[in-house]
Structure 1
Amino acid sequence: MPKIDRRIIKSQEAIKKAFIELMNEKGFDKITIQDISDRANVNRRTVYLHYLDKFDILDKMIEDHINKLRELCKSLSEMDFIDGGVPFFEYFKSNYLFFSTMLVGGGAAQFRAQYLEFSVELLKGEVNVTDGKNKGLNEEIILRFVAAAYVELVEWWLKEGMPYPPRVMAEQVGILIERIL
């Protein structure tokens, strides 16, 4: 794999940081490429060199974070919901501005929808509807119920300024998910 020039990475990171800050401050619809280039301290041409438009910036940022969550998921596949949840909540905390803007600030409904689908995908295979407490229930209904509750809890946690540490959130949410599934 070819090595990417550090200047390119630095420019892209500055553009993404500027974009999410502006989105948090004034909303997606009011952001212009000029706003982004000014905030990132790069030329407009530099923005267009890396992205088609502000929609492309948003799409790539969402894709990047969902992919990072998928990678986290793969690395934690053998853990239970409690221990496996800690890295997720730590990731949300370390990327607070992005997630709070996307989920709490009404930044992008499309992110919430993608995150919800990711959560459903994450839980597939964890539901037993053939015996036990969920016998006879519809697997899709259970998956959507648990995933929606999880996304809501993440939104609440971010909205409230992360009042509990990632470990506490992972423990509480993990116990609840294990009770349901």
Structure 2
Amino acid sequence: MKESFTDLRVIRTVESIKGALVDLIEEKGFESITVKDITTKARINRGTFYAHYQDKFDLMNSYQEEIMREMSTITKENLPNLIADLHTNDKKVQTIEIAVLIFKFLDQNRRFMKAVLGPNGDLSFQTKLKEFIYKTLFESTDTPLKLENLLVPGEYLVSYIASAHIGVVQQWLLGEGKESPEEMARILSTITLNGPFFAAGLKNN
């Protein structure tokens, strides 16, 4: 019972630290944040902070990696079915399902994603996301995608996919963001599967 209480207390402390980080990014930007700012906002002492993180950069990296691990899990669990569905007449079913899951996850973590992808966040996060997408799609042991099957170099394909998708997510998070995860999944699926010219009404597939 004591161990469970301790675990719960640690979880609450970590969540408090992460919440303080997001609040401070929104208030003053990541570059201006100090560990003292975080401990004051989270109402903890410096020793408690350093028991979990080395500094604010370690905290940021840990939070980002947590987000990317979860997105990687969602992608890996659904990617094989997506590939299979692309060979059928109904291309949208599984794609929308994956996209909905991703957008629901992003919505659950909206404040952090909005803060870190915003102008006062971490500019290196987009580079990390591109690297994450490449590893998830091509370096995972269970990925159905093979570099030798690509029609263009993998790094350019991933750069295009990542930049386009991150841009759509940023527009959703940093704009009014009224669309539901399901609607955003439909929007992204239409562009991804059929191309921007089709989405613009200039081309019929």
Residue pair 2:24, 2:33 contacting (<8 A) in 1 also: yes
For 1:151, the aligned partner's letter is: I
Aligned 8 A contact 2:30 2:120 in 1: no
What TM-score, normalized to structure 2?
0.75
Match of 2:121 among 107, 116, 140: 107
The structure that has the greater radius of gyration is 2
The equivalent residue for 2:171 is 156
Q: 2:101 aligns with which of 87, 90, 111?
A: 87
After TM superposition, the score normalised by the length of structure 1 is 0.84
Return the alpha-carbon distance in structure 2 between the equivalents of residues 138 and 71 of structure 1. Answer: 25
Of residues 138-147 and 67-76 in structure 1, the stretch that sits farther from structure 2 once superposed is 138-147
Task: Supply the distance in 2 between the matched residues of 1:127 and 1:145 (Cα, whole angstroms).
Answer: 17
- Distance in 2 (CA, whole Å) between partners of 1:126 and 1:162 is 32
Unmatched tracts of structure 2, length 5 or more: 83-93, 139-143, 196-205
| Distance (Å, rounded) in 2 between the aligned partners of 1:6 and 1:65 | 21
1: CA distance, partners of 2:158 / 2:129: 14
How far apart in 2 are the matches of 1:140 and 1:166?
28
Counterpart amino acid of 1:30? Answer: S
Q: Report what 1:8 is aligned to.
A: 10
**How many residues matched?**
175
**Are the counterparts in 2 of residues 81 and 177 from structure 1 also a CA contact under 8 Å?**
no
| 1:44 to partner: Cα distance | 1.6
Q: Which of residues 46, 49, 53 is equivalent to 2:48?
A: 46
- Gap change, CA 1:60 and 1:104, over 3 Å in 2: same
Whole-angstrom distance in 2 between the partners of 1:88 and 1:99: 12
Q: Distance in 1 between matches of 2:54 and 2:114?
A: 25
- Cα 1:149/1:44, change in 2 over 3 Å: same
User: Which residue does the alignment assign to 1:146?
Assistant: 161
Distance 1:22 1:144 in 2: 30
Let me know the Cα RMSD of the aligned residues.
Answer: 2.4
Matched residues, percent identical?
28
SS in 2 for 1:5: helix
After superposing on structure 2, the runs of 4+ consecutive aligned residues of structure 1 that deviate more than 6 Å are 127-130
Whole-angstrom distance in 2 between the partners of 1:17 and 1:76: 30
Match for residue 33 of structure 2?
Answer: 31
| TM superposition shift of 1:149 | 0.7
